[in-house]
Amino acid sequence: MRYVIAGGGVAGVTAAKEIRKQDPEGEVELFSSEPYPYYYRPKLWEFIAGKSAPEETYYRPENWYADQGIQLHLNSTVVGLDVEGKTLSLKDGQEVLFDKLVIASGARSFVPPVEGADMEGVFALRTLDDAKSIAACADTVKSAVLIGGGLLGLETAKALVDRGLKVSVVEFMSRLLPRQLDEAGADVLQAYLEKQGLEIYLDAKTERITAGSDSLTVLLADGRKIEAGMVVFSTGIRSNIEPWKSCGLPVGRGVQVDEYLMTASEGIYAVGDAAEFKGFVYGIIPAATEQGKIAGANMVKPKSKIYKGTVPSTRLKIVGMEFNAYGDATLDGDDVLVRRVVEKEAGRYERLAIQDGCIRGAILLGDPKKAVAIKRLIAVETDVSAHVDQLLEDGFDLKSLASA
């Protein structure tokens, strides 16, 4: 049996590992468009902050793959798929035959069509090579504008602050982390970040970027101008679906899969940022590892494992401040009970959204201790109706409730 993995990110590597575990005999071949073996993306921020070397971002040495009996092919971009002929075509013209295939081609940065976004000194962060370019440029300038006040944008902004730059963050919406935080929570986070030296621009639509003699200027739609040495976009991702669009498989925002993570074609699976499950592309590490494991198992033993979806969870760790959001974090409505703790000075904000007796969403800012228990309560839909008013009290035993 010849298993082929198209993509070397966390979803692809997890699938490869699971295939090997379930089938010690089969051939496992992994094709990655990257020049490096899989690296843990959050480490890129440590590298940009100047706290670690690029090699330290690698999660496993190159020989790990060989030790596992996984053939690793770097610089090998897949450009097409022949479903009937069970063949992948690579950019260099090579053709790769497979018995079973898992599509794990990941995603890339999305940069909106803003005038000037293609200029020198304007970046987006996704890969280790992006991080290297950003770090090299950061050493030649004194300030940066970060466009996009989401999770990854704030992490990047903080990494640049740590590298010694003055950083402004430009957010289109009226608050930071609009998808994970409500107004009150965003307010607490913003106060904290401003204390860290970040300048925050809200309700700010980037109109265009212009170049001066030794700096760039970001022009906002309302007339405000921000001058800086470099600009970094952090405005979302798009799945890498181009190689799969013309092969006959149903493709939406990602390659569509069923509950076995199988595409419309027997023996071809899709996972991670390239996969669309029930209309949704997750774009987060926990979903990528969960899907990688399930698809890997099903490739060896068809229909042995069912994927039920992943509780959305996001986490931000800015020196001294931890942020977790789970489930439908900002859920609200007439049938939703909301419980909050707001301590702006201490940088603490907690919010639970309870519906039909179960926690459906949580925001935890400042104190990570409750995170694991609350995540579990959401995932297993524990009935918490008897404890609604105690859940966020200091000293309440969430752990026992979660493991009951």
Partner 1 sequence: MSKWECVDCGYVYDPAVGDEENGIAPGTAFADLPDDWVCPDCGSPKDSFEEL
Give the interface with partner 1 as residue ranges (CB under 8 A). Answer: 10, 14, 38-40, 42-43, 59-60, 285-286, 288-290, 313, 315, 324, 368-369, 371-372, 399, 403
Q: If DSSP codes are grouped into helix, strand and coil, which group holds residue 219? A: strand
When the beta carbons of 175 and 376 are compared against partner 1, the nearer one is 376
When the beta carbons of 340 and 369 are compared against partner 1, the nearer one is 369
CB of 286 to partner 1, least distance (A): 5
CB of 155 to partner 1, least distance (A): 13
Q: If DSSP codes are grouped into helix, strand and coil, which group holds residue 337? A: strand
CB of 333 to partner 1, least distance (A): 28
Other Cβ atoms within 10 Å of 149 Cβ, number: 28
When the beta carbons of 168 and 313 are compared against partner 1, the nearer one is 313
What are the strands of the beta sheet with 78-82, ordered from one edge?
Answer: 78-82, 87-90, 95-97
Query: Rounded to whole angstroms, how far apart are CA atoms 332 and 175?
Result: 17
CB of 43 to partner 1, least distance (A): 8
Torsion over CA of 262, 265, 266 and 270, rounded to 10 degrees?
A: -30
When the beta carbons of 175 and 315 are compared against partner 1, the nearer one is 315
**CA atoms within 13 Å, Cβ hemisphere of 319:** 14
Q: If DSSP codes are grouped into helix, strand and coil, which group holds residue 357? A: coil
Cβ(209)–Cβ(122) below 8 Å: yes
Contacts of 301 (CB under 8 A, 6+ apart): 22
Query: Rounded to whole angstroms, how far apart are CA atoms 304 and 42?
Result: 32
When the beta carbons of 116 and 292 are compared against partner 1, the nearer one is 292
When the beta carbons of 44 and 125 are compared against partner 1, the nearer one is 44
CB of 16 to partner 1, least distance (A): 12
Enter the tokens of residue 393: 């009290």
CB of 51 to partner 1, least distance (A): 12
When the beta carbons of 6 and 288 are compared against partner 1, the nearer one is 288
Among 209, 110, 180, residue whose Cα is nearest residue 323:
180
Q: Look-up: residue for tokens 């706290």?
A: 51
